[in-house]
Structures are given as C-alpha cells and as structure tokens.
Chain A
C-alpha cells in the first residue's frame, strides 16, 4: 500500500531542489572567487618571478655584468673585479667618454641591483668608474 503521502514526496523533492539551487549558488560564488584568486596569483607569480629574476639571481646578474663589460667599447679596458657571495665590484680606470656613456647607460638600463658607484673625472677625456652590484 502507499504508505507515504505523495505530497510529502513532492515536499521532499522541492526541498532537495531548493537545497541544490542554494548549494549550487554557493559553489558558483566559490568558483568565481577561486577563478579571480587564480588569475591574481598567476599575475603576482609572474611579477614576483620577474622581480626575482632581476634582483635575486646571482648567476644571471654576474652574466649580465660580464656581458656589459664585454661590450666592444669597454673590452679594451682592464677591469678589476671583486666577487663575494653577495656582490660583485668592478673598477675601470681612465676610460674615455664614449666608453663611460656606454657603461653608465648599460648599467642604469639593466635590472641589476646597484649597491654603490663612483664616477670620477680624471681629466678632460678620462673618467674612472667603480660600481658594486648585488648578486
């Protein structure tokens, strides 16, 4: 025999439907929030990765500095280098104005972390340069 009132079953189905609609709504909000979080995280991750690459990569910074010093304008000058765990210092004496322009523009346009520098005019044509970059 029919032991359950059909209206109870309709009520139960209705309750289930409302519950599902509510749960779905909550889940969709979560989904949208998570999508935004993921996009944000990816954006931040890329930003952090690029900043890390720029300032926190010892090998890359060493290579970048050596590549500047290997420029044809600078290659002819002898460079005094001092490398420690955290930094690399360079000293070029009596370089001409053209070489200085090349060195300063490359150095300041790079993403190297410059800790200190000194540009001293030796005479009308020559300049001495010292710089320390973080590794």
Chain B
C-alpha cells in the first residue's frame, strides 16, 4: 500500500508515512502566501484560493509537556498555560503534538505539544486590510507548523529572516544569518501540514457568541418542533384525502362535485315530489264530507289528480272547493247530478 501511494502521488517514503498519520495534506494547487506585519499588498486574482502562512508576529507559541493523550483534552488546558503571559484580549487557542513525539501516543509524561495563542481580531483586521475575502482563503497556518522542518534560515524580506531557536521559529535581522533560503521558494516546495487554524472573524459582533449559540439552539428547537408538526399535519392531510376517496368509492359517488350536486339535486327533487304527492293525496282525502257523501274516485295520472265526490246536495260543492283551495291548485271543477268532478294539479 505504501509503495502504491508513493508511486501514485510521487511522495518519498517519509512523506507517505506522514500523510498516512494525517500530519501533512496531499499536494494542493493552492498558492501559499506568507504574511507578516510589514506585508501591505498581495497579488491575488478574484477567483483564486490561497493558503496563508502567518509570521510569528501573529501568535504566541510554547512547547509544553502535557499529561493528555488527545488534542481536545490538550485544548482545555491552553487558556491556563497562557494565563498571565498574554495582554488583555479575546484569544483563540490551538495545539498539536510535536511531530517527533507523534508516535508516543501512550507516553503521556514525555509527549511534547506545541501550544498556540492568537488574537482573531488582529489577524482578521490584517486580512481585511490586505483585501483578502473569506472566500479566497483555503486555509490559514502558523509559520511554526509549516516551516519548522526547514533547518536553514529563511529570508522573509531584505531585512529579516526566520531562524529556529530551541525548535521555535523566531524573526531575526537577515544580516545575522548565513545561507538564508527565500521564503517564496520554501513555501512553494514545502507541503502544507494538517495544522491549519480557525479564525473567528466575527468575534466583534454586537451580541456575544454565547448569546448567538443560545438563540441558534432555541431557533433550531422551534424549527424541529414546527417541522414535526408540519410532517404530522402533512400525514393527517394525506389520510383525510384517502378517507375522502374511500367515502367516494364506498358510496359510489361521482368524482366531481358538479356531478355530485347534480345527482343530489335530482334525488332531492324526486323525494320532495313524492312527499308532495303523499301530502296532497292526504289533503284531498280529508275533504270535509258529511253524511251521505263519499269520494267515488281519486286518480293520479300525468301529475294531475282527478277527483269525483258524490254530494248530498249540489251546493255542498262550494264548501269542498273552498277547503281544497287552501292547499291545492284546482284546474277545473264542475258539478253534475250531485257529483263533483275536479282536476287538481300535483
């Protein structure tokens, strides 16, 4: 596997081992820029992404033996390590185990860690002054992590150089160094490590980070709540649609409301017509007949009643007519030989 990695990415054996350990990143196409306090301009295309190496002027670094195994455990100790050393301000901290001690994962007493403190606001302001947007930055590194493997002095500009003193990179006048390599050449040949840092560029917001976290968590909780309700409502609506379809299928109803209304109207008309027929029949039959009078015929044909009543005397027709007229429409009425014949509309 090591051999195949080496051949594929053209790494030497030492680099391949470091790559496997996560100590360095695979070669990237990002341009690397070294920034110190004297840097005033940089040439940068709008769409170009860059890696940034910060000079020792932007961080405090110490080598410490920490009784911890993992980075997250070490991070908890960092504020106390720098307590009393740093001036007032909001600092962020970063650490990693020294490259040479990486293998000593179980040797807690003898593992050395490089611990850093840095002021996000100062770095952020510098990046802003150089016109470097967040979108242009791929990663930010400290000079210590990226250049500590270089043993010879590194020339930063015409006056200063970086040199290693007790494994810590410091800035010195160039005149005091010999055989200094050019910084541009060093960063272009040297591969970036995995020790990039996070800059909190929004530390100076009107509300504190804690408040932002509380607001965000509250909002997320409410979003979760409403999302659950939304999903439940969506399911309930789906069930109601299914129920509606079931009703239509069970009762064999037409699918459109137009057809349904038409069907309902037709059936209701039929029902009311039949109710009317029964009511009018009952009314006609209840005519106020006296002794020796009887209904001889009651017929319903073509929506018309034909009624014949044998009267006691002809003048009784008026009383019966008056009664019927209260509720039914008499089309014609005649009396012949004491027999009243009437046609009544349904």
Chain A residues with CB under 8 Å of chain B are 1-3, 5-7, 9-10, 13-14, 16-17, 20-21, 23-24, 27-28, 30-31, 34-35, 37-38, 41-42, 44-49, 51-52, 54-56, 108, 111, 113-114, 116-121
Contacts and interface: CB of A to CB of B under 8 A. Distances in A.
21 contacts: A1-B134, A2-B202, A24-B229, A27-B230, A27-B237, A31-B233, A34-B241, A35-B240, A38-B240, A38-B244, A44-B264, A48-B267, A51-B270, A113-B270, A114-B274, A118-B297, A118-B299, A119-B295, A120-B296, A121-B296, A121-B297
B215 interface: yes
B230 A24 contact: yes
A1 B212 CA distance: 17
Contact of A24 (B137, B233, B250, B297): B233
Interface stretch (B9-17, B39-47, B220-228): B220-228
A2 B222 CA distance: 25
Interface majority SS (helix, strand, loop, mixed), chain A:
helix
Contacts of B202: 2, 5-7
B298 interface: yes
Interface string B35-62: 0000000000000000000000000000
B30 to A, nearest CB: 14
Contacts of A41: 244, 247-248, 253
A31 B230 contact: no
Contact of B198 (A1, A47, A52, A111): A1
Contacts of A46: 251
Contact of A9 (B200, B216, B253): B216
A51 B212 contact: no
A108 B282 contact: yes
B135 interface: yes
Contacts of B263: 48
A45 B299 CA distance: 35
A24 B233 CA distance: 8
Interface of B: 134-135, 137, 139-140, 197-202, 205, 209, 212, 215-216, 219-220, 222-223, 226-227, 229-230, 233-234, 236-237, 240-241, 243-244, 247-248, 250-251, 253, 260, 263-264, 267-268, 270-271, 274, 277-278, 281-282, 294-302
A60 B237 CA distance: 38
B294 A121 contact: yes
B243 A16 contact: no
B282 A2 contact: no
Contacts of A17: 219, 222-223, 226
Nearest to B305: A117
Nearest to A108: B278
Contacts of A13: 216, 219-220, 223
A114 B274 CA distance: 7
Contacts of A113: 270, 274
Contacts of A10: 212, 215-216, 219
Nearest to A37: B244
Kindly list the 9 A-B residue pairs having the minimum CB-CB distance in the complex, ordered from nearest: A45-B251, A51-B267, A13-B219, A118-B299, A20-B226, A1-B199, A34-B240, A3-B134, A27-B233
Contacts of A21: 226
B201 A1 contact: yes
A6 B205 contact: yes
B191 to A, nearest CB: 20
Contacts of B298: 117-119
A45 B244 CA distance: 11
